[in-house]
Chains A and B, each alone.
Chain A
Amino acid sequence: MFHKLLIANRGEIALRIIRSCRELGIRTVVAHSRADRHTLPVMLADEAICIGPDDPRASYLNIPAIISAAEVTEAEAIHPGYGFLAENPAFADICRSCTILFIGPSAEAIRLMGDKAQARQIVQQAGVPVVPGSEQPLKDGDEVLEVADRIGYPVIFKAAAGGGGRGMRIVRERASAASAFAACQSEAAAAFGSSEIYCEKFIEIARHVEVQVLGDRHGSRVHLGERDCTVQRRHQKLLEESPAPRLSAETRAGLYRAALAAAATVNYVSAGTVEFLVDPSGHFYFIEMNTRIQVEHPVTEMLTGIDLVREQIRIAAGESLGYGQADVRSAGHVIECRINAEDPVTFTPSAGRVTAWIPPGGFGVRVDSHLMAPYAVPPFYDSLLAKIIVQGHDRATAIDRMRRALTETVVEGVKTTVPFHQKLLGDPAFVEGRFTSADAARLQG
């Protein structure tokens, strides 16, 4: 095991990584922007180093600055967290060439799964079902119409280099297909530097279910169950839970097999997530694989008792998992609510100054947060303030516990998603486990 790790991230995930490192006896360096210099991760890390100004392009996305920070602090490994450089294959390559351990999968796996069209082809060859759609990026308006007519409306356009809900557009009728394609192309070019777009059938009533996988360098690979992430708005997840409600044993087993098959196509090492759409008849389709730790990873940790960040670090250091599929157990039901600094009605970010923060606590409650009071929510980064995760012996208990936890939660000074979650937890479709993407559409701001 190595001795010092640099965290190239901020906020709650930086803190999350510090915690696992401390338990492993690894010293931590937080590389931070100027705006983040008085934050909890900077205070709690063994060392902190400012790598650039507020703008993330000059700090958290600044590869030379991060590598240089690792070199001057003599950190042997870099954990990228999620977002920023976590799924940048060039960054993983540069780490390797500088003999710095990148905590994550190989650059090759990141590259292959990062190209959505290519990922789709690769997993399809391994027998994993994919949503009907174009096999290649679409060339022009004529091809768009030809493909959309073949698979049937509604269709969804997706940027090959997109992700996290960005670079997507739903088209319901032939008349608007060509113009939507053109708009999607220029958006993708601006946002991702690639205008490659592909087209899929849009599955209107679906659930979004993902499977957590974990693989070591010695050929062992296990899944750690699924997470239902159907509750989204503008393709951004707000609440996740596990196990996914009302899933048949057959569908569940099929999802696990498919996730492991998808991971095997790229010899996946480290923690990763394979995302699927599940339709009302229980058919499922691969969407993408996320080659990083995810925001909602604590759901799986609470359910299985496995510390995913610790496992990522152990795996990167060359250790073997040390357990097989039969050893992975899960207990009860877990729900996570994301508390974002944003208006609960319009969903616009609400930057400002947090003047009071009282996190919930008590039996079965975990809070991952970098909040403290006072704290100025900087306008430069994402709006996630806290994740509240609860475990109950069954789903009904977990829902009651989350309602209780949200009642205790106090965030003053900025608007948050707490009222949204309180409303959602009283929504009959959610409470009965019948929530689908159609319900999620009702929640759009």
Chain B
Amino acid sequence: MRRRRGGAGNDPADLARRLGTLLTELQLSEIEASVGDVRVRLHRASTSGTLAPTHAPVPVASPAPAAAEPTVGAITIEAPMVGTFYRAASPGAEPYVREGDVVKQGQILCIIEAMKLMNEIESKVGGRIQKILVENGQAVEFGQPLFLLER
């Protein structure tokens, strides 16, 4: 989502998103940019096509059986709808997940409120929450990255 005024131009997540779009569109394998004191570098994971920030554990050629496990990397959980992002079921409640938590496939990660309906957003995969990319109460658009997960 883009807001002309008061925009989060120096927000790392925002910058990463924009770079991610460019990376895909220009079909690059790697891209780096800095805005102010924020510097972001992205590279495309070789097999899954998902974007992985370089500070994520980069899949190294493992001596272990290569065929059994898919390449390890960060998975992005995107907003499946437009709405307001909430980390907890109700204002005073504990958040569904925190950074560092290990989640199972199908576990509820957050709520997106759209037209007064609270939609529970489940994790499509299991993994560890590496980063929560949006703030509680923030408006999110369709396709906006919400979480980075490590497999």
Interface on A for B, CB 8 Å cutoff?
34, 37, 42, 46-53, 59, 64-65, 67-69, 71-73, 98
- Would you call B115 and A50 a contact (CB within 8 A)? no
- Would you call A34 and B4 a contact (CB within 8 A)? no
- Would you call B142 and A53 a contact (CB within 8 A)? yes
Q: Which of B3, B83, B115 has the most CB of A within 10 A?
A: B115
- List B contacts of A72 (CB < 8 A): 82-84, 139-140
Given contacts A64-B115, A67-B115, contact A34 B1 (CB under 8 A): no
- List B contacts of A64 (CB < 8 A): 81, 114-115, 117
- List B contacts of A46 (CB < 8 A): 3-5
Question: Once bound together, how far apart are the Cα atoms of A50 and B82, in whole Å?
Answer: 7
Flag B111-151 by CB within 8 Å of A: 1 or 0 each. Answer: 00011010000000000000000000001111110000000
Flag B17-28 by CB within 8 Å of A: 1 or 0 each. Answer: 000010000000
B55 interfacial by beta-carbon distance below 8 Å? no
- Would you call A50 and B114 a contact (CB within 8 A)? no
The A/B interface has a contact count, at CB < 8 Å, of 57
Q: Which of A49, A53, A59, A98 has the most CB of B within 10 A?
A: A49
Q: Which of B4, B82, B139 has the most CB of A within 10 A?
A: B82
Given contacts A47-B3, A50-B141, contact A65 B84 (CB under 8 A): no
The 21 listed contacts between A and B (C-beta, < 8 Å) are: A37-B21, A46-B3, A47-B4, A50-B142, A50-B143, A51-B82, A51-B141, A51-B142, A52-B142, A53-B142, A59-B142, A64-B81, A65-B82, A65-B114, A68-B114, A68-B115, A69-B82, A71-B115, A72-B82, A72-B84, A72-B139
Q: How far is the CB of B150 from chain A (nearest CB, A)?
A: 26
- List B contacts of A71 (CB < 8 A): 114-115
- Would you call B143 and A34 a contact (CB within 8 A)? yes
Instruction: Pick the 3 closest A-B CB pairs, nearest first.
Output: A72-B139, A68-B114, A50-B141
Interface on B for A, CB 8 Å cutoff?
1-5, 21, 81-84, 114-115, 117, 139-144
- Would you call B115 and A48 a contact (CB within 8 A)? no
- Would you call B142 and A73 a contact (CB within 8 A)? no
Question: Once bound together, how far apart are the Cα atoms of A109 and B104, in whole Å?
Answer: 51
- List A contacts of B142 (CB < 8 A): 34, 50-53, 59, 65
- List A contacts of B3 (CB < 8 A): 46-47
- List A contacts of B82 (CB < 8 A): 49-52, 65, 68-69, 72
Question: Once bound together, how far apart are the Cα atoms of A71 and B21, in whole Å?
Answer: 26
Given contacts A50-B143, A51-B142, A52-B142, contact A68 B83 (CB under 8 A): yes
Q: How far is the CB of B8 from chain A (nearest CB, A)?
A: 13
- Would you call A48 and B1 a contact (CB within 8 A)? yes
Question: Once bound together, how far apart are the Cα atoms of A51 and B144, in whole Å?
Answer: 10
Given contacts A47-B4, A48-B1, contact A68 B81 (CB under 8 A): yes
Q: How far is the CB of B9 from chain A (nearest CB, A)?
A: 15
- List B contacts of A67 (CB < 8 A): 115
- List B contacts of A69 (CB < 8 A): 82, 141
- List A contacts of B114 (CB < 8 A): 64-65, 68, 71
Q: Which residue of B lies closest to A30 (CB)?
A: B2
- Would you call B4 and A49 a contact (CB within 8 A)? no
Q: How far is the CB of A304 from chain B (nearest CB, A)?
A: 33
Question: Once bound together, how far apart are the Cα atoms of A59 and B143, in whole Å?
Answer: 12
Question: Once bound together, how far apart are the Cα atoms of A48 and B2, in whole Å?
Answer: 5
Question: Once bound together, how far apart are the Cα atoms of A69 and B141, in whole Å?
Answer: 8
Q: Which of B1, B115, B141 has the most CB of A within 10 A?
A: B141
Q: How far is the CB of A63 from chain B (nearest CB, A)?
A: 9
Q: Which of A37, A53, A71 has the most CB of B within 10 A?
A: A71
Q: How far is the CB of B120 from chain A (nearest CB, A)?
A: 16
Question: Once bound together, how far apart are the Cα atoms of A59 and B4, in whole Å?
Answer: 22
Q: How far is the CB of A199 from chain B (nearest CB, A)?
A: 41
Q: How far is the CB of B5 from chain A (nearest CB, A)?
A: 8
- List B contacts of A68 (CB < 8 A): 81-83, 114-115
- Would you call B144 and A50 a contact (CB within 8 A)? yes
Question: Once bound together, how far apart are the Cα atoms of A68 and B113, in whole Å?
Answer: 8
- List B contacts of A34 (CB < 8 A): 142-143
- Would you call B4 and A65 a contact (CB within 8 A)? no
- List A contacts of B144 (CB < 8 A): 50
Q: How far is the CB of B124 from chain A (nearest CB, A)?
A: 16
